[in-house]
Amino acid sequence: MRTPLVALAVLLASSVAGSAADLAPVYTKAPAAVYNWTGFYIGGNLGGGMASSHFDDPCFYCSNATPTAGFFTGGAQVGYNYQIGSGLVGIEADVNGNSNFKSSILGGDNATSMTITTKADVSGTIRARAGVVVNNALIYATGGAAWADVKQTGIDLDNRIGPTLGSPTGYTANRGGVLWGGVIGAGVEFALGNNWILGGEFLHTMYKDRAANILSPAGGNGCVAAFFLNNVPQSTCVIRDQLTTDVARIRLSYKFGDPVPSSAGAALAYANSGGVAPLYAKAPAVASIYSWTGFYIGGNAGGGMASSHFDDPCVYCSSATPTSGFFTGGGQIGYNYQFGSGLVGIEADVNGNSSFKDSVLGGDFRSALAVATKADVSGTIRGRAGLVVNNALVYVTGGAAWADVKQTGVEFNNLASSPTFGAPTGFTANRSGVLWGGVVGAGVEFALASNWIVGGEFLHTMYEDRSANIVGVSGLSACANPANCVIRNQLTTDVARLRLNYKFGGAPSDALAYAAPAYTKAAPLAVAYNWSGFYVGGNAGGGLASSHFDDPCLYCSSTTPTGGFFTGGGQIGYNYQFGRGLVGIEADVNGNSKFKDSVLGGTFNQAMTVSAKDGVIGRPSLWIAEYLRCCASG
């Protein structure tokens, strides 16, 4: 979660630096923008990021894996911007080529194991953009749909020490084709001379999960007469994969059309500057065009991606990460306080959500567990901090999130040849109630005539994990040790939504000036604050840490402990200001409080306590007997 927070902080810093000259509480607008952002553009991008592919197994190998590593990306984008005063809306599509992602192994403790890989050689997005224009600079938030041509491969290999070690056995789990998902992000662009635009952005993308059938050497169902003689259906004899990427990239675009402003005076200044957009100083103080200070109430509607990760202590020796899109809508109420070009505020919202995707644990067993998560009602309580440019606002936001989460697990007969195939067995793993978590995001708003405000925002939310006891018909635990006989669930969501608010009081003080933004250039003044230079300082805050532990089937288990922590430390860096733009570099060192721990193999006579902070401790004794009980019981 630290990555989105850092990226958002950099974006806000780059914009606030350019507004330091505007710290007085009252302003006039600059003349018609020296650079006109309206028009089509085309360009290229180059960057890198992290790709995380989570593989779930129905207990063919009783294992799972989450290979995560960096990759390079490069491609092209085309889009259209429409500028409205100090605001901008637009649409963009891009196509990128990507380097290889990291591979891994399922079932490393078994006689055979499977080498698994995800590749997305080509990917792209179709996104809306909304931002704030400050002369020749643009700060924006973005969100929309993402796609990738994903190739998932799985090759079963002999894992026994001997002459055939590493040889393929003929069993496979392969699937290819386009996967869709959702993308959210933010960026900054600077208009250079001669129609060129230079910028940078980050994008967080979450794709739907997908299943690849486990096939025998003959091409049939790999779970029929394979190892356990379970004869389970092909629909549950699969390896599931869920891909998430985070990318930071630089971009260079060429805008079609003449960027010369409409006013003759500004056009002359533009020409005399050699095609470089000149900066403008403050005008004499007049009544503010729009006051953002005050209470507001409104509604929102949008959609996103929900990913629910289910971990199992080896009752089913399986895991699942159902990931898919959902719709959301609700209302928000808040208060803003404007000071000059800065704004701080607080907001609370409550939303209703459509259903999330479900899945199955133990698909290779005679009995399997259908698992699902529902969060019909959710909300956040967030702080907001942003930059005001006349009637436009760009902001970052973060705080606490809650959801009324209902986790269900219903065991059913999974033996395809049985007359009671699909019937419930009576074993369940259910739990409900409010879950808390953390949320970060960014957004853009535009003040319309009278007191109406329209905008868009994205929110990335991560909730704490929670356990549901596995119980039988009698209500008693299904395991000898009830404390670890649980199905754990951890929910993460990404949402992009539109919002419309009504602000009480504080209507524009000069309606005529507000409706017709035609202004004269102010006399040049010295820059009020110079951001260039070295700095050193401290920081304090908090967040959520999610540690996913994968196991090759020593315990045939997985776990994803997720909880809050505190952090504090120091930073040192250097800024370089150029007009209203800023670039810099920073290094920081922080100390963190303890992360949440968990248990692998909770149904075994011996289990392992795992922690990302304190290391991995435990006693893996008697593992042969435990493995046989796990994987032969069904």
Q: How far is Cα 49 from Cα 101, in angstroms, rounded to an integer?
A: 11
Q: What is the mean pLDDT of residues 478-487?
A: 85
Residue 624: count of CB within 10 angstroms of its CB: 8
Residue 570 in contact with residue 446, Cβ under 8 Å?
no
Residue 210 in tokens: 């997908």
% of the chain exceeding 70 in pLDDT: 81
pLDDT at 523: 42
Residue 313 in contact with residue 599, Cβ under 8 Å?
yes
pLDDT tens digits, 209-263: 999 999 999 998 888 754 445 577 888 889 999 999 999 999 999 999 876 553 4
Residue 467 in contact with residue 351, Cβ under 8 Å?
no
- Phi and psi angles of residue 495, each rounded to the nearest 5 degrees, phi first: -130, 135
Burial class (CB in 10 A: 0-12, 13-18, 19+), 84: middle
Strand partners, 115: 105, 155
- Phi and psi angles of residue 216, each rounded to the nearest 5 degrees, phi first: -75, 170
Q: What is the mean pLDDT of residues 436-455?
A: 93
**CA separation (Å) from 44 to 141, 272, 339, 539?**
19, 29, 38, 36
pLDDT tens digits, 531-554: 999 999 999 999 889 888 887 787
pLDDT at 604: 66
Residue 231 in contact with residue 416, Cβ under 8 Å?
yes
Q: Print the SS3 string covering 539-579.
A: EEEEEEEECCECCCCCCCCCECCEEEEEEEEEEEEEEEEEC
Residue 128 in contact with residue 444, Cβ under 8 Å?
no
Check residues 331 and 617 and name the one with the higher pLDDT: 331
Angle at 479 between CA 477 and CA 481, to 5 degrees: 95
pLDDT at 507: 53
Which CB contacts under 8 angstroms, 24+ apart, belong to 418-423? 421/233
Residue 259 in tokens: 């960027």
pLDDT at 217: 92
Burial class (CB in 10 A: 0-12, 13-18, 19+), 44: middle
Average pLDDT, the chain: 83
pLDDT tens digits, 378-410: 999 999 999 999 889 999 999 999 999 999 999
Residue 577 in contact with residue 14, Cβ under 8 Å?
no
Residue bearing tokens 């060429």: 254
3-state secondary structure of 289: coil
pLDDT at 111: 87
Check residues 35 and 420 and name the one with the higher pLDDT: 420
Q: How confident is the model at residue 556 (pLDDT cuts 50, 70, 90)?
A: confident
Spans of all domains in the chain: 2-633
pLDDT tens digits, 33-47: 468 899 999 999 999
